[in-house]
Amino acid sequence: MKSFLEIQFKNQYHSPETPKSDFLIKCSNPSLSPTQDNELNKYVAELKHEKHEVPIIFIGADTSGLASGAGKVKLAIETELQKLNIDAKIVLTGGMGFGAIEPTVDIKLPNQDRIIYCEITYKDVPELLKTTLIDKRIYSKKVFGKYGKTEGSILNIYETPFFKNQKRVVLKNCGIIDP
């Protein structure tokens, strides 16, 4: 995957040794060719995990998540995926700011919304993975919300009581990205 700088500068990096006079202008107001624009859009989609072929399992692994057992959950997920012979990507993220419901595990199947499960223990992992990855159903015992449009009883995370009155600016990607 190419970075923004590789796309924009075609491997001609700005550095003290080889300064590019238009570096700041190109970074703050990029004028991209259609090919560069397409490459950049693919790059952003990959970073956001929008397009993928295999399931992605996100584990909240910040300090409170790890203190709540996220490390054991990760090991249990790795073991269970191997046992079930399932190809999936595991992404460790920071916490989303709601330590009382950790460890959290989000599962995103290809072409579907990312579903958030809370208070997951290593004992939950076999049933969680069977239900979500094999049966392709929601693990309703521990579902918290989703990133995506509210459907039925599964609320968009920002419509849940804990988050609905919050305005996140600096922390808007907490729990979403791999820090």
Question: What are the extents of the domains in the chain?
Answer: 4-47, 56-159
Q: For residue 155, give the H/E element and its range.
A: none
Mean pLDDT of 89-101: 83
> Is residue 80 very low, low, confident or very high in pLDDT (cuts 50, 70, 90)?
very high
- Sequence-distant contacts of 129-135: CB under 8 A, at least 24 apart: 129/77, 129/80, 129/81, 129/84, 129/86, 130/84, 132/55, 132/107, 133/55, 133/84, 133/86, 133/88, 133/107, 133/109, 134/84, 134/86
Tokens of 48: 């956001």
- DSSP character for 113? P
- DSSP character for 154? B
pLDDT at position 175 is 56
Between the alpha carbon of residue 58 and those of residues 32, 46, 70, 73, the distances in Å are 32, 15, 11, 11
Say how far apart CA 104 and CA 93 lie, in whole Å.
10
Across 18-27, 103-112, 155-164, least confident range: 18-27
> Is residue 20 very low, low, confident or very high in pLDDT (cuts 50, 70, 90)?
low
Mode of pairing for the β-strands spanning 56-60 and 89-93: parallel
pLDDT averaged over the chain? 82
> Is residue 45 very low, low, confident or very high in pLDDT (cuts 50, 70, 90)?
confident
pLDDT at position 162 is 72
Chain position carrying tokens 């979403």: 176
pLDDT at position 164 is 73
Across 23-32, 81-90, 112-121, 134-143, least confident range: 23-32
Say how far apart CA 17 and CA 27 lie, in whole Å.
19
Pick the CATH number of 56-159 from 3.20.19.10, 3.50.50.60, 3.40.30.10, 3.40.50.300: 3.40.30.10
Cβ-Cβ contacts under 8 Å for 10 (sequence gap 6 or more): none
Cis status of the peptide bond prior to 55, with omega within 30 of 0? no
For residue 61, the tally of other CB atoms under 10 A from its CB is: 23
Tokens of 14: 């700005």
The gap from C-alpha 165 to its chain's centroid, in whole angstroms, comes to 23
Check whether 166 has a pLDDT greater than 80: no
